[in-house]
Amino acid sequence: MAGSFVAVRGTSRSSLKQNGRGGLADPPLSLAMPTVVDLQKTAELEKFLVEAGLYEGEEESAKREEVLREIEQIVKEWVKQLTIQKGYGEQMVKEANAALFTFGSYRLGVHGPGADIDALCIGPSYVKREEDFFVTLHATLLEMEEVTELQPVPDAHVPVMKFKFRGIPIDLLYASVSLPVIPPDFDISQGSVLCDVDEATVRSLNGCRVADQILRLVPNAENFRKTLRCLKYWAQRRSVYSNVTGLLGGVSWALLVARVCQLYPNAVPSMLLSRFFRVFTLWQWPNPVMLCTIENDDSLGFAVWDPRKNHRDRSHVMPIITPAYPCMNSSYNVSTSTLRVIMEQFQFGNKICQEIELNKASWGALFEPFQFFEAYTRYLVVDIVADDDDDLRLWKGWIESRLRQLTLKIERDTKGILQCHPNPCEYADPSIQCAHCAFYMGLSRKEGMKIHGQKFDIRGTVDEFMHEIGMYTLWKSGMDLAVTHVRKKEIPSYVFEQDCQKTYPPTPICASQQDQSDKNDTDLCTTAVSLDVQLKRKYDSDGGADVESCKTVRRASVTSACEEALTQLHDDANFGLTNCSTSPHGSEESSVSGNSCAAVDTISLVDETSILGYLMPNVENDPTQTILEPTPVECVVEKDERKLEGIESSANRNCTEFMEVAEVVTGTILTENVH
C-alpha cells in the first residue's frame, strides 16, 4: 500500500533512451552548470517559499498518510463485501482486492497545506462505476462520521467522488480494469491495464500514469518539484491557475515545467524559473509542448492527440500533450481569450525575472498578486444562489464547469473582438447568510482592433448559456443565477479580502458627484442590479432571519426595459455591450417567464486591455502543419536598432530549436553557455 503513495523517482536519460518507448522529444538547449550566483538565488527562492507557508508540517503530512491508509482499507473491504453480495465463491472472496493510487500534486510531491488529495481506486472487472462505486460505496461513505461534504459527480468528464475525510479534501476516482482479481503488486504503468475499458476509465487511469511518466522523464526530480511548487504558487497569485475556467490546471503546469527541466537538465530552480518564462514568452502557439514522442498503439485503438486526423484537435490553441498513452491535450479548455491572459502573465514573469537577474528586484516582486479588479473597467458577474450549502455545492460545480462555454460563446458571437478573463476565485458576501457565491469575468477588447462605432449585443449569447445551465439534471427549486455586468467602481469591497486590498473607496452606484462623462454609466447602474445586491436588499428587508428570502429574488431585476434601443457610440475607442441578467428556470414567485433580459444600456470599454501586458501576436499557422512540417517563426528583439534573428520554432521537432542561445536582458545580450 505504501508504495502506491510514494512518488516515483525520475530515471536517467540514458535508461529512457534504452527502453525504446516514448523517446525524449529533443536534446537539451543548454548543459550549463549553475554558478555561485545561481545557487545563492536558489537559496533565496527556497527561503521565500518556506516563509510563504508552501510546505506542510510533519503533523499534517502524517495525517494525510494515515487518511490514505484508512481510505484504502475502506475500498478493500467494500470490494470484498460486493464480491460476497454478487455470489462469488469462497476463494474469490478471499482474493478480492482493490488498489489505491494517488496522482496530481500529491503524487508529484508538490502539494501544500490544505491541498486536496487526488486518489484512484482500482477494482476488478465485476465492480462497476455506475452501480457500485457511485451507489454502494457512496452509501458507505455517507454513513461515516469521518466523511463530510460528500459530493458525487458521475457525469463529469472524469467521474469523481468529492469529500473530506477527517478534514482532508479527497477527490476519489474509480477504474474497473479487465482483471477478476487485483494483485497486491498491481502495476498501473503497463499498457495492458487499458485493455477492454471505456474512455472514462482511461481518463481515470491516466492521471496516475501521467504523473509517473513526468517523474521518469525529468532529469532531476527534486529540481523539478521545487520549480513546479514555485510556478503553481505564482500561477495562483497571478490568477491563471484553473483548468475548469479555461486557464491552466495542475497537469499542464507540471508538463510545462518538466519541458523546461528537459531543455536545461543541469539548471537549479532559480535558473529554471527564469528560463521557464523566457521559453514560453517566445513559444509560438499552437505548436505543441511534448515531453516525448507521441506513442500510438493500434492494438488498443484509443485516439491520441493528432490534428492531422482529429478535426477537434485542430481547434486547440495551446496544446500541452500528456506523455502517457493515449496522449491527450491537457489544456484543451484554453481559448483565445484565456491564452491572451496566460501570455500576458508569462511576459510579466519574464520581465520580473530579468530584473531579478540584474539585482533590481527580489523574488517577492514575482509573486505579487494580480490586481484583477484593477486590470479591467468592465466585468461580467455570475451570481449563484441555492437553498442550502449542499445544493449550492452541486449547483455551483455545474455552473463553474460551464463558465468556459460562456467565454467561448462571447468570443464566437463577437468574432473574437470581445475577450474574457475568468477569475478562478469565487466570492460571497459575508453579510448575507443564505447560500450564494459569485464569479467574475474581466472584459477587454482584443488588442489592436480599431472599432468605429461598433456595438455588441450579447443578450442572445447569455440566453444560450442560461439555456444550457438549465439542462442540469439535478436542478432543484431554489437553485438560480443571474448574469450581469458591473463597472470597476461598483465591485463590492468584500471581494478584495481574499487576495488584495482595494486601492480606492467603494463608489455609490448613483453618486451625485459623478462626472458628466460617466452619466450614461450611472444610468446603467440604476437598472443593472446584480443578484448579490438583490439578495442583500431582500435579506435586509426580511430581517435577516429566513433563508427562504433568497428564493424570491431570482429575477427581481428582470424588467421590460429589454425593449430599449441601444445607444450608438461614436467614439472610436468605445464599443457597446448590452447588460444581461437572466434565470435558467421559471419560478412560481415570478410572473416573468424564463430567459429574460435585464434593463439594457451600453458599456464603454475604453482601451482596457490588461494593464500588465499586451497580446502576443496570434499565430495563424494551420494546426495541421504543427507536426507535419517545420514552421519557422522569427522572433525579433530590438537593441540599439539591431535585431537578433534566428530564434526559430520547429514544430516537427517539438518546437525546441526556436530557443537559440541568445538572450536579451534589458539591453544586455547574454549567451547561454558563457557560465
**Active-site residue, 523 included:** no
**Active-site residue, 390 included:** no
Clarify whether residues 185 and 310 are in a common domain: no
Alpha-carbon distance 109 to 214, whole Å? 12
Question: Which three-class secondary structure state does DSSP give residue 450?
Answer: coil
Q: CATH no. for residue 72?
A: 3.30.460.10
Bridge partners of residue 575, in order along the sequence: none
Give the pLDDT confidence score for residue 246 in this predicted structure. Answer: 92
Q: Is residue 81 part of a domain?
A: yes
Clarify whether residues 329 and 247 are in a common domain: yes
Convert the pLDDT of each residue in 439-467 to its tens digit. Answer: 999 998 887 666 666 677 888 899 999 99
Among residues 76, 106, 118, 239, the one annotated as catalytic is 118
Does residue 505 have a cis peptide bond before it, meaning omega lies within 30 degrees of 0? Answer: no
Alpha-carbon distance 668 to 355, whole Å? 12
User: Directed axis angle between helix 36-51 and helix 221-237, to 10°?
Assistant: 50
Clarify whether residues 342 and 456 are in a common domain: no
Q: Judge residue 618's burial from the number of C-beta atoms within 10 Å of its C-beta, 0-12 exposed, 13-18 middle, 19 or more buried.
A: middle
Half-sphere exposure of 602 (CA within 13 A, CB side): 20
Q: Is residue 546 part of a domain?
A: no
Among residues 226, 232, 396, 551, the one annotated as catalytic is 232
**Active-site residue, 189 included:** no
Question: Which three-class secondary structure state does DSSP give residue 20?
Answer: coil
Q: Is residue 87 part of a domain?
A: yes
CA terminus-to-terminus distance, the chain: 45
Clarify whether residues 225 and 360 are in a common domain: yes
Alpha-carbon distance 645 to 640, whole Å? 14
Give the pLDDT confidence score for residue 438 in this predicted structure. Answer: 94
Give the pLDDT confidence score for residue 603 in this predicted structure. Answer: 40
**Regions of the chain with pLDDT less than 70:** 1-25, 448-454, 498-675
**Active-site residue, 239 included:** no
Give the pLDDT confidence score for residue 432 in this predicted structure. Answer: 86
Residue that is last in its domain, among 177, 192, 211? 211
Q: CATH no. for residue 324?
A: 1.10.1410.10
Place of cell 486601492: 503
**Active-site residue, 494 included:** no
**Phi, psi for residue 43 in degrees, rounded to 5:** -60, -40
Listed in sequence order, the residues at least 6 apart from 338 whose beta carbon sits closer than 8 Å to its beta carbon are: 245, 246, 247, 407, 420, 421, 422
Among residues 30, 41, 76, 105, the one annotated as catalytic is 105
HEC assignment per residue over 180-217: CCCCCCCCCCCHHHHCCCCHHHHHHHHHHHHHHHHHHH
Give the pLDDT confidence score for residue 369 in this predicted structure. Answer: 92
Give the pLDDT confidence score for residue 454 in this predicted structure. Answer: 65
Alpha-carbon distance 559 to 561, whole Å? 5
Convert the pLDDT of each residue in 181-219 to its tens digit. Answer: 999 999 998 888 999 999 999 999 999 999 999 999 999
Clarify whether residues 339 and 261 are in a common domain: yes
Clarify whether residues 328 and 239 are in a common domain: yes
Residue that is last in its domain, among 479, 497, 515? 497
Q: Is residue 522 part of a domain?
A: no
Specify whether the CB–CB gap between 465 and 444 falls below 8 A: no
Q: Cell for 461?
A: 449569447
Give the pLDDT confidence score for residue 153 in this predicted structure. Answer: 87
Transcribe 107-157 into DSSP letters: HHT---TT--EEEEEEE-TTS-IIIIIIIIIHHHHHT-TTEEEEEEETTSS
Clarify whether residues 263 and 282 are in a common domain: yes
Q: Is residue 505 part of a domain?
A: no
Specify whether the CB–CB gap between 445 and 609 falls below 8 A: yes
Give the pLDDT confidence score for residue 331 in this predicted structure. Answer: 95
Question: Which three-class secondary structure state does DSSP give residue 281?
Answer: helix
Clarify whether residues 306 and 443 are in a common domain: no
Clarify whether residues 424 and 298 are in a common domain: no
Alpha-carbon distance 462 to 314, whole Å? 26
Among residues 4, 30, 38, 171, the one annotated as catalytic is 171
Question: Which three-class secondary structure state does DSSP give residue 430?
Answer: coil
Q: Is residue 109 part of a domain?
A: yes
Alpha-carbon distance 347 to 282, whole Å? 9
Element (H, E) at 275: helix 269-282
Nearest Cα to Cα of residue 219 among 10, 79, 392:
10
Determine the structural domain holding residue 69 and report its residue range.
62-211
Transcribe 225-258 into DSSP letters: HHHHHHHHHHHHHTT-B-TTTTSB-HHHHHHHHH
Clarify whether residues 353 and 378 are in a common domain: no
Residue that is last in its domain, among 469, 497, 525? 497
Q: Whole-structure pTM over 0.95, yes or no?
A: no
Question: Which three-class secondary structure state does DSSP give residue 350?
Answer: helix
Listed in sequence order, the residues at least 6 apart from 505 whose beta carbon sits closer than 8 Å to its beta carbon are: none
The total number of structural domains in the chain stands at: 3
**Active-site residue, 86 included:** no
Among residues 106, 241, 376, 440, the one annotated as catalytic is 241
Q: Is residue 417 part of a domain?
A: yes
Q: Cell for 253?
A: 503546469
Convert the pLDDT of each residue in 602-636 to its tens digit. Answer: 444 443 333 333 323 333 334 333 333 323 323 32
Clarify whether residues 337 and 458 are in a common domain: no
Alpha-carbon distance 509 to 516, whole Å? 14
Q: CATH no. for residue 483?
A: 3.30.70.590
Among residues 63, 80, 116, 523, the one annotated as catalytic is 116
Listed in sequence order, the residues at least 6 apart from 539 whose beta carbon sits closer than 8 Å to its beta carbon are: 431, 432, 433, 434, 549, 550
Q: Is residue 241 part of a domain?
A: yes
Clarify whether residues 154 and 249 are in a common domain: no
Question: Which three-class secondary structure state does DSSP give residue 539?
Answer: helix
Does residue 323 have a cis peptide bond before it, meaning omega lies within 30 degrees of 0? Answer: no
